Homo-oligomer: A and B are copies of this chain.
Amino acid sequence: MPYSNFASMPCTLSRPAALLGERWTLLLLRQIFLGTRRFEDFQATMDISRSVLTDRLNVLLQENVLKRVPYHEDGRTRHEYRLTEKGRDLYPVLMALRTWGEKWMAPDEEESFHLHHRDCGGGVRAKVECTECAAELTARDVQVTARQ
């Protein structure tokens, strides 16, 4: 099975993993969550080649993670890339990466930005919980059952 087939596997983990597991896609989403919206700005801040940037943006548009929104500047109509609701829902994925990065990849606490809860100023953390008892779960607390 080539890589691309994971994108159509009947598995709700492998399909997102195949989509976001393409080179640049996670970094592109990071940039979007940090507020970048325009082609030129992605190109400038990430130094990704223009053709690959075009491709990744198109894949995310096609998957309905992003949408193109027209806007006006200097009396001209242009387009910017913005998250859809589906795209905004990827926030926990990025936050899980960051929570992990803070714990395991930050020897000197350096960070390029801070995150705060607007209402109370607290920090931000991703976690896994049980939908019934609301306990926080680790891999060891979870039983995997193969279907069929």
Nearest CB in chain B: distance from A60 CB, A: 13
A90: nearest chain-B partner, CB-CB = B100
Do B25 and A21 have beta carbons less than 8 Å apart?
Answer: yes
Q: A24-B21, A104-B89 are in contact. Are A135 and B117 (CB under 8 A)?
A: yes
Q: Which single member of B47, B48, B116, B132 contacts A143 (CB below 8 Å)? A: B116
Do A124 and B142 have beta carbons less than 8 Å apart?
Answer: yes
Main secondary structure of the interface of A (DSSP, over half): mixed
Residues on B with C-beta less than 8 A from A14 are 27, 30, 112
Do A15 and B145 have beta carbons less than 8 Å apart?
Answer: no
Number of interface residues of A (CB under 8 A): 87
- The count of identical subunits is 2
Asked if A59 CB lies within 8 Å of chain B CBs, one says no
Q: A96-B126, A144-B35 are in contact. Are A13 and B1 (CB under 8 A)?
A: no
Nearest CB in chain B: distance from A27 CB, A: 5
Query: Which residues from 109 to 134 on chain A have a C-beta closer than 8 Å to any C-beta of chain B?
Result: 110-133
Residues on B with C-beta less than 8 A from A133 are 117, 119-120, 122
Q: A12-B111, A110-B10 are in contact. Are A128 and B92 (CB under 8 A)?
A: yes
A148: nearest chain-B partner, CB-CB = B112
